[in-house]
């Protein structure tokens, strides 16, 4: 099913590119996977869909770990050693602002529930890194305190899908200026 989503996502990406929309390939694959995961189980109930299975959880954890390891190994931190001081100051300020925002704005607005807690952990990862960091944070919380499937729908949709689509259009707009 994963390969089917990737192949269909690749075909969708080619079609969008021919129509003049340039999106990252993973956005098209993510869109197809979301549509398939939310439609196939209802359209074909006899087809055993791999959502919420142990095999998918293992594949997901492995892929996330591999992505984070590859990202860290690919960084060439020695090339920015002269910027270490300002980077640490900016990172410290970003962390303080993120924690204050999550504690006093995000968590209360989300309703002060367990879902809000998991989303807060994800938002912390997203604000200090990227969507994979957010997923890793949420996974750590849910492994300890129990599942929160709604959070794993909301954050990837907003953090990866909508933000990337918006970025693609905003970047194309400014490049056109």
pLDDT (tens digit, 0 to 9) for every residue of the chain, 177 residues total?
A: 888 889 999 999 999 899 987 777 877 888 888 888 878 878 888 877 777 778 877 887 788 788 878 877 877 777 878 888 898 999 899 999 999 999 999 999 999 999 999 999 999 998 888 888 888 899 999 999 999 988 988 888 887 777 777 877 788 788 878
Query: Virtual CA dihedral for 38, 44, 47, 53, nearest 10 degrees?
Result: 20
**Given this model, what pLDDT does residue 97 score?**
95
Instruction: Report the candidate in 85, 79, 92, 141 with the shortest Cα–Cα distance to residue 113.
Output: 141
> Please, how many CA atoms are within 13 Å of residue 113, restricted to the half-sphere of its CB?
7
The CA R_g of the chain, rounded to the nearest whole Å, is 19
What is the residue extent of each domain of the chain?
A: 90-177
Which of 18, 15, 19 lies closest to 31, judged by CA? 15
Task: Name the phi and psi angles at 109, rounded to 5.
Answer: -65, -35
pTM of the predicted structure, to 2 decimals: 0.62
Phi-psi region of 147 (alpha: psi -120 to 50; beta: other; left: phi over 0): beta
């Amino acid at each position: 099913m994963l390969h089917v989503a990737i192949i269909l996502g690749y075909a969708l990406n080619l079609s969008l590119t021919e129509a003049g929309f340039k999106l990252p390939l993973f956005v098209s694959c993510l869109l197809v996977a979301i549509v398939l995961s939310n439609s196939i189980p209802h359209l074909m109930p006899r087809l055993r869909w791999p959502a919420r299975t142990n095999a998918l959880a293992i594949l997901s954890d492995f892929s996330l770990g591999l992505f984070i390891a590859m990202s860290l190994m690919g960084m060439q931190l020695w090339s920015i050693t002269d910027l270490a001081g300002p980077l640490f100051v900016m990172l410290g300020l970003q962390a303080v602002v993120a924690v204050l925002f999550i504690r006093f704005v995000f968590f209360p607005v989300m309703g002060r529930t367990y879902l809000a807690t998991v989303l807060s952990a994800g938002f912390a990862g997203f604000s200090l890194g990227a969507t994979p960091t957010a997923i890793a944070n949420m996974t750590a919380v849910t492994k300890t305190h129990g599942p929160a499937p709604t959070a794993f729908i909301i954050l990837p949709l907003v953090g990866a899908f909508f933000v990337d689509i918006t970025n693609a259009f905003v970047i194309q707009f400014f490049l056109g200026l």
